[in-house]
């Protein structure tokens, strides 16, 4: 009788885990996997055309987000890191087409922002008041001031938002772009299997 009870428990446990993770375990990634995914708070920043961008405009796309001031080294490192990750997704055409590379900044440098956006059609520079950008950074778990000013000579942390505009992973500055691209592909593949 005890063996049957243990067997029933193991069967129920396995079924419960499959239900919880939609038929599969979460992927093992090098970055920090956020479970359960955290909804992005409501926010409003503006793109280089002056159009408002908020949580609702991020639906249906994967978004890789960095913070930094464009006119400083942190912004340049952030854009460079976003582009490096995108370049390593060259073999993932569908994912690359659905990926937005977002740089959130508090400094108003529209000409520089447009120059950065010319590097890739996936890049969008979002700007707002320092307090607004810092609030978004803090909501994602970043040091608000440090995220904007950057750490000298350190690559910025990247934040991955899924097509439901939820934070699903954080990629520390020490993680190389190739590993971030692999993690992103694994998360996108898992999401495709869930549908």
For residue range 62-76, what is the model confidence (pLDDT) as tens digits? 999 999 888 888 888
Tens digit of each residue's pLDDT (9 = 90 or more) over 83-104: 999 999 999 999 999 999 999 9
For residue 142, the model assigns a pLDDT of 86
* Global pTM value: 0.84
CA distance 54 to 125: 13
Report d(CA 122, CA 92) in Å as an integer: 14
- Rounded Cα distance between 174 and 39, Å, is 25
Domains of the chain, each with CATH number or no CATH: 29-194 (3.40.30.10)
Q: What are the DSSP E strand ranges found in 86-157?
A: 99-105, 123-127
Q: Tell me which residues of the chain have a pLDDT lower than 70.
A: 1-24, 144, 195
């Amino acid at each position: 009788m005890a063996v049957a009870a243990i067997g029933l428990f193991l069967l129920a446990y396995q079924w419960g885990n499959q239900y919880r993770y939609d038929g599969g375990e979460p992927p093992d990634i090098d970055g920090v996997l956020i479970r359960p995914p955290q909804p992005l708070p409501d926010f409003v920043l503006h793109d280089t055309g002056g159009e408002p961008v908020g949580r609702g405009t991020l639906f249906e796309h994967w978004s890789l987000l960095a913070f930094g001031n464009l006119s400083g080294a942190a912004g340049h490192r952030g854009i460079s890191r976003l582009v490096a990750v995108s370049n390593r997704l060259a073999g993932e055409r569908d994912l690359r087409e659905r990926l937005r590379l977002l740089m959130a900044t508090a400094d108003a440098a529209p000409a520089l922002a447009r120059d950065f956006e010319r590097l890739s059609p996936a890049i969008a520079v979002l700007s707002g008041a320092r307090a607004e950008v810092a609030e978004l950074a803090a909501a994602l778990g970043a040091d608000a001031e440090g995220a904007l000013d950057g750490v000298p000579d350190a690559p910025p942390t990247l934040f991955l938002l899924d097509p439901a505009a939820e934070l699903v992973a954080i990629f520390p500055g020490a993680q190389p772009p190739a590993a971030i691209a692999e993690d992103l592909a694994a998360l996108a593949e898992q999401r495709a299997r869930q549908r």
